[in-house]
Structure 1
């Protein structure tokens, strides 16, 4: 897997973010995308050694398009110069939660885990209920030394604890959250060697697994809304 090819293409797309350049360089996109899918395949096989639930998907089923939805954005550039994928038991659906990868030049790459989507009210309620009822387990996961060394729980949150939950609950701050996720930043130089990056990503995702497992237990039985 040639991570240099991936970064070079995305850097060029970022500097030439228009449809004319994109279509004129379709061959370069296809070559870079093939390298990204090769990386995903290797990553899935390695993650599968500690989380077999994610096996069985083709890499192309896990990736997101470069095309941006600009209808409600001030930024009208048509493409997001990033290769992104979500690896979970249900593929790239946001629930169940899994392992998220974004490669974007300029120090914007990261490895992610947890629930990024805060628009599913049922999912938010399910996780809040689980934290409320299993707060000790949550605390044990997020205070583990290896977790604190690498991660900080992120997510959009309310200003106050929502109705129906104890205001003096030990995990009260996390009951305000509407989403709960982890982002581990990756610098461009860490992507220079594809094999070294692969090993780093596998190690980081392994550390995320208890967090993901906790959220997926909370989200058991969640149904994605019908379109």
Structure 2
């Protein structure tokens, strides 16, 4: 199972013609592209289930919520899917976005609630060596480089934390995400599903460590 070139072509055309009339005139092409994306996302879900437990796979709607946005274009010029891990014991989630020139996958903790974020920061404050170890792991670096992305960072230390702490770069993060970008040629490759799956596999030490952190207190006692 793989992406068709016609799917990327449709998304590129939608980017150039993001209006309701064009969308309606090309509805059949949209449905074919959507079907292709659903099939690839489902194939990735099946692969994920061989090495993780996925609670929910969700393909995002193409319709944009423009109520509170300055951008009033009605459609997302991409297809995307999220895969949520099972329950309280398996924390974190996977994400995949297909957009011409901007395709990417990600995994981790996008916007942890304040309790989870505080717990992660306390772990970093006490000992960041295991988290640093994830970033130095050759398999992690192969797919994701040597740093976590974040949807935002504080300009200084979080309240109650030392701004001179040696792990201040980690303490300032509002989330912890690993990201891998893909070219259009890589997306259209017959090996794409496998590449995505191997990337997700490389996240397991990251997920396992953070799940352990969020399931225990600072004394290592289970919170479940």
**Which TM class, normalised by the smaller chain length?**
0.7 to 0.9
Matched-pair contact (CA < 8 Å) for 1:114–1:215 = no
Matched-pair contact (CA < 8 Å) for 2:97–2:103 = yes
- Residue 134 of structure 2 is aligned with which of 127, 137, 141? 141
Question: In 2 relative to 1, CA 96–66 (structure 1 residues): closer, same or farther, beyond 3 Å?
Answer: farther
Does 2:187 correspond to 1:186?
no
Give runs of aligned pairs for residues 147-166 of structure 1, distance below 5 A: 147-151=140-144, 152-155=147-150, 156-166=152-162
Matched-pair contact (CA < 8 Å) for 1:66–1:83 = yes
Gapped regions of structure 1 (runs ≥ 5): 222-227
- Residue 83 of structure 2 is aligned with which of 75, 87, 93? 87
Query: What CA distance in whole angstroms lies between the structure 2 residues aligned with 1:90 and 1:9?
Result: 34
Question: In 2 relative to 1, CA 78–166 (structure 1 residues): closer, same or farther, beyond 3 Å?
Answer: same
TM-superposed deviation, 1:161 = 1.1
Aligned to 2:35: 34
Aligned to 1:14: 15
- Residue 60 of structure 2 is aligned with which of 64, 68, 87? 64
Does 2:207 correspond to 1:212?
yes
Q: Match of 2:181, SS?
A: strand
TM-superposed deviation, 1:83 = 0.5
Matched-pair contact (CA < 8 Å) for 2:2–2:193 = no
Does 2:133 correspond to 1:102?
no
Matched-pair contact (CA < 8 Å) for 2:2–2:192 = no
Aligned to 1:225: none
Question: In 2 relative to 1, CA 14–157 (structure 1 residues): closer, same or farther, beyond 3 Å?
Answer: same
Higher strand share: 2
Query: What CA distance in whole angstroms lies between the structure 1 residues aligned with 2:7 and 2:214?
Result: 34
Query: What CA distance in whole angstroms lies between the structure 2 residues aligned with 1:126 and 1:6?
Result: 42
Question: In 2 relative to 1, CA 64–90 (structure 1 residues): closer, same or farther, beyond 3 Å?
Answer: farther
Aligned to 1:117: 111
TM-superposed deviation, 1:8 = 2.0
1:17-71: CA deviation from partner (whole Å, max 9, x where unpaired)? 00112122222222211111111121112122221x11x64xxx51111122223
- With the length of structure 1 as denominator, give the TM-score of the two structures: 0.82
Question: In 2 relative to 1, CA 48–158 (structure 1 residues): closer, same or farther, beyond 3 Å?
Answer: same
TM-superposed deviation, 1:2 = 4.8
What is the root-mean-square deviation in Å for CA atoms of aligned residues? 2.3
The number of equivalent residue pairs is 210
Query: What CA distance in whole angstroms lies between the structure 1 residues aligned with 2:185 and 2:172?
Result: 36
- With the length of structure 2 as denominator, give the TM-score of the two structures: 0.83
Matched-pair contact (CA < 8 Å) for 1:123–1:219 = yes
Aligned to 2:123: 130
Does 2:197 correspond to 1:202?
yes
